[in-house]
Amino acid sequence: MLESPEALQRFVAAWENGTLPKPEWTHAAHVAVCACMLVRYPGDGMAAMSAGIIRYNEAVGTVNSETSGYHATLAQFWYEVLQAYLQGMTQEWDAAAAAVCEFGGARDLHRRFYSFDVVRSIEARLTWIAPDLLDHRTAFGKIA
C-alpha cells in the first residue's frame, strides 16, 4: 500500500468501496487510512474514519455490535495519537508513510493509556472514553 502515492490511493479507494480483502485490513492499514483521513478532511477526519470503518466492516461481513467490529474508543484514541504526531503534514502519502513507520507495529499502544477493563467494556466500544491510566491530552504528542 505504501509503494507509491498511487498505490496508497488505490488501497484507500478499495477500503472506501468495501473491496479491500479483509486480511489486508491490518493495524498498519488502519494507521495508514487514518493518516489519509486526517490530511484529506482537516478538522473532520474522525467522522470520515468512523463512518468508513463501520461501512467497511459491513461490506466484509464483520458485525458492528457491542462485542465486535467498530470500537469507538480505540478509533478515537488512534485518531488523536496520529493527529498529534502528524501535525502540519499536508500530503496523504507522506503522512501515511510516517504514521505506519512510527505506529504500524504498535497495535497495543493503547495499553499504556487504558486499563484492561475499560478498553474491553461495551461502553468503550460504543462511545469515546478518555484513557484512565495516562492523560492523553498531554501524552499524545509525546508518544513517539
Each residue of 84-131: pLDDT tens digit? 999 999 999 999 999 999 999 999 999 999 999 999 999 999 999 999
Whole-model pTM: value is 0.90
Distance of alpha carbon 12 from alpha carbon 41, whole angstroms: 14
Distance of CA 96 to the CA centre of its chain: 11
Distance of alpha carbon 65 from alpha carbon 10, whole angstroms: 29
Tell me the average pLDDT of the chain. 93
pLDDT of 43 strictly over 90: no
pLDDT of 62 strictly over 90: yes
Distance of alpha carbon 11 from alpha carbon 6, whole angstroms: 9
Q: In which residue are the cell numbers 480483502 written?
A: 21
Distance of alpha carbon 5 from alpha carbon 142, whole angstroms: 28
Which cell is 18 given?
Answer: 468495501
Distance of alpha carbon 144 from alpha carbon 139, whole angstroms: 10
Confidence of residue 143 (pLDDT cuts 50, 70, 90): low
Distance of alpha carbon 130 from alpha carbon 76, whole angstroms: 9
Tell me what pLDDT residue 27 has.
97
Angstrom CA distances, 75 to 87, 104, 108, 124, stand at 18, 14, 13, 10
Which cell is 101 given?
Answer: 513507520
pLDDT of 138 strictly over 90: no
Total residue length of the chain? 144
